[in-house]
Structure 1
Amino acid sequence: MTFQAESQEGNNNEMQQKRNFSAFASLGLLDRFLAVWIFLAMAVGIILGNFVPSMSPALEKGTFVGVSIPIGSYWVVGNDLALSWAFLPDKSALRSGLILVGLGRCIAMVLIWNALAGGNNDYCAILVAVNSILQMVLFAPLAIFFIRVISHEDVGSISYSVVATSVAAFLGIPLGAAVFTRFTLRFLAGPAWYDRVFIRFASPWSLIGLLYTILVLFAAQGHQVVHQVVSVVRVAAPLIVYFTIVFFTTVSICRMLGFEYQFLVTQSFTAASNNFELAIAVAVATFGPNSDQALASTVGPLIEVPVLLGLVYALRWIAGRRGWK
């Protein structure tokens, strides 16, 4: 009986590994090594920001509703308040930047983490759509509430109109354009052409836009990231704790509620991921590109990418060890 049980457990682990490999192998070259491309984009951006003095001023010249147009061009396509106070009691500006990061629910890279860990793609798409709509409605009032009301931060420059305009411009417009494009093309060319031709053509461009945005962000903030290492480390610490706690808390709750593995994956990575692009856009529009708030929000992707990638492999290992189906 013991031998049969061990044999069955071995078969289950092998099947789980095959499913994980299949999910990974089904991704394209750009998706499969997205983490590598992101790190390269960060590195190139930091190098440009430090060794090309004219880079940052040039990026700041073109603006729309107060945010750099090069940064905003990507948009075509839990809150960590307690941790920010615990780790940064003497740095109100960095706390405000962390709060903005915590408010933004992820609507881009969570699709990659979900695919790598074997989550449910349809469920993930639904959560991304819901998060997009909720952020357009709730991001501005929550930012004002947590920064000015709860934290009592002395930031006279932040206002509802500035934050709401940034969110509407860099989240609402792209979402509206995507909805219009989808229904128009499906009506004119048919669902089959839209799914088979247009989606295959358009999908890589969203990730290319993401990489471009990261490169531009780090080119604009590269000098600060390098020359304010202490601040970067102090911001990184609560972010690491935040991502880890939120992720494993969600995993535990989903297990207790009886979620299937694929839905547990999607729910957990959606809860732990953040829309750092929106946080940076709002921080830059509200406090300026050279502010500590912008620096804190820029550290978000620098920490989120390796931590979430590590959580992908940690969850796959746990699922294989415990035989989660």
Structure 2
Amino acid sequence: MELVAETLRAQPAEKRLNLFERYLTIWVGLCMALGVWLGRTAPQMIEWLRRMELGEGSQVNLPIALLIWVMIIPMMMKVDFGSIGQVGRRPRGLLVTLFVNWIVKPFSMAAIAWLFFRVIFSPWIVPNDADQYIAGCIILAAAPCTAMVFVWSYLTDGDPAYTLVQVSVNDLIMLVLFAPIVGWLVSGASSLSVPFIVLLYSVLAFIVIPLTIGVGARLWMVRRFGRTWFEDRLLPGLAPLTILALLAMLVLIFAFQADNLTGKWAHVLMIAVPILIQVYFNSALAYGLMQRLGVEHAVAAPGALIGASNFFELAVATAIALFGPGSPAALATVVGVLVEVPVMLSVCALCNRTRHWFPTPVVASR
């Protein structure tokens, strides 16, 4: 009986999002409405914001870059690269995550997007828009999620330490592979030419700079004030600033896309189809592989969620840098923002309902 009692106590309690996270779809909708309204009623101001660049010729939008830094740096401060040394104890979960994220996900998205925009939806989409939608979907799929994964892992009672390892390794690989994968796949799946230098600027602006600042700040503050103060007081205190930056960036993104969102609403629905298929395909693949390999649920669920979700902030910013704030490619990445939360919540629910597919951890009696 004691063993049974211990095992029951070890079962995960029901997890709940905070108020902002629970209704993120509503906040995104409100930001969309506000952004579209600003784009339609104050076009001169929005055009002025569009033209602001992070360095002449970089094509990196300065207002979006600043908002992404404010939003991402606290997220990057959570990343502990020292935890990567623990991977050797349980490597299978990480290997599956990397296989799905970097071998399957970008290439499957390129194939699925090409099929839908070049074949199935071709009667309703002109070739130039089709190429840009393909490019936007590829950019979205080539950027594995960094921040929201911690929320999804929490909801599925994932192993927080292992989730941190998965995110940390993905961030390191993204520094090297994001630009060449996007450049190669976009050029191969469409008739578009991607300036590699602009991709490098995007990686520098939206990955290297915030990651360097975040990791440096983490090391200094943990050494100066201690890990407890850093994790229990500072990071929670920065959360409202991160949320405000995210909402402001969404307003700006939707303002840049006001004409497309109001004039091409049918395209928005069509763009959502390949994105949804890709998300469910990759999450199911990662989850299934981990189940077959005997990976525990606390590692398998976050791994499936990392394979399903995207670093949409980086994707949107890169699409804007490459093709412009009002481009169809940027619109495709914005659609990824719209579907992210409800889709990921559905994947979380599925992972929680299938917990019995995996070996049940047994807590030894005392």
Name the TM-score, length of structure 2 as normaliser: 0.76
Equivalent position of 2:296 in the other structure:
260
More moved, 29-38 vs 108-117: 29-38
Pairing partner for 2:38 from 44, 48, 53? 48
SS at match of 1:41: helix
Equivalent position of 1:5 in the other structure:
none
Per-residue CA deviations over 1:130-187 (Å, capped at 9, x if unaligned) read 2222112111111111122x32x3323x211110111111111000000111111222
Report whether the alignment pairs 1:60 with 2:50. Answer: yes
Is residue 56–residue 219 contact of structure 1 (8 Å, CA) maintained in 2?
Answer: yes
Is residue 55–residue 219 contact of structure 1 (8 Å, CA) maintained in 2?
Answer: no
Alpha-carbon distance in 2 for matches of 1:317, 1:39: 29
Report whether the alignment pairs 1:109 with 2:102. Answer: no
Per-residue CA deviations over 1:172-215 (Å, capped at 9, x if unaligned) read 10000001111112222333332333223223433332233222
- Residue 42 of structure 1: how far off its partner (Å): 3.2
**Structure 1: segments with no counterpart, 5+ residues:** 1-7
Alpha-carbon distance in 2 for matches of 1:282, 1:105: 14
Name the TM-score, length of structure 1 as normaliser: 0.85
- Residue 37 of structure 1: how far off its partner (Å): 3.1
More moved, 44-53 vs 87-96: 44-53
Is residue 291–residue 358 contact of structure 2 (8 Å, CA) maintained in 1?
Answer: no
Root-mean-square deviation (Å): 2.4
More moved, 299-308 vs 56-65: 56-65
Alpha-carbon distance in 2 for matches of 1:55, 1:87: 36
- Residue 109 of structure 1: how far off its partner (Å): 1.6
The 1:288–1:128 alpha-carbon spacing in structure 2 relative to 1, beyond 3 Å, is same
Is residue 250–residue 267 contact of structure 1 (8 Å, CA) maintained in 2?
Answer: yes
Alpha-carbon distance in 1 for matches of 2:267, 2:111: 18
Alignment of 1:92-241 (within 5 A): 92-148=131-187, 150-151=188-189, 153-156=190-193, 158-241=194-277
Alpha-carbon distance in 2 for matches of 1:293, 1:146: 14
**Structure 2: segments with no counterpart, 5+ residues:** 74-104, 119-126, 361-366
Per-residue CA deviations over 1:259-309 (Å, capped at 9, x if unaligned) read 211111110000111111111111111111122111112111112222112
Pairing partner for 2:315 from 262, 270, 279? 279
Equivalent position of 2:114 in the other structure:
85
The 1:128–1:222 alpha-carbon spacing in structure 2 relative to 1, beyond 3 Å, is farther
Q: Percent identity?
A: 29
More moved, 182-191 vs 80-89: 182-191
Equivalent position of 2:68 in the other structure:
74
Alpha-carbon distance in 2 for matches of 1:231, 1:324: 44
SS at match of 1:63: coil
Is residue 55–residue 220 contact of structure 1 (8 Å, CA) maintained in 2?
Answer: no
The 1:15–1:209 alpha-carbon spacing in structure 2 relative to 1, beyond 3 Å, is farther
Count of matched residue positions in the alignment of Structure 1 and Structure 2: 306
Equivalent position of 2:88 in the other structure:
none
Alpha-carbon distance in 2 for matches of 1:116, 1:54: 43
Per-residue CA deviations over 1:22-54 (Å, capped at 9, x if unaligned) read x32xx5444454444334333433343344434
The 1:190–1:111 alpha-carbon spacing in structure 2 relative to 1, beyond 3 Å, is closer
The 1:55–1:126 alpha-carbon spacing in structure 2 relative to 1, beyond 3 Å, is farther
Instruction: State the AA in 1 paired with 2:47.
Output: P
Is residue 136–residue 172 contact of structure 1 (8 Å, CA) maintained in 2?
Answer: yes
Alpha-carbon distance in 2 for matches of 1:323, 1:103: 29
More moved, 79-88 vs 113-122: 113-122
Is residue 28–residue 338 contact of structure 2 (8 Å, CA) maintained in 1?
Answer: no
SS at match of 1:19: coil
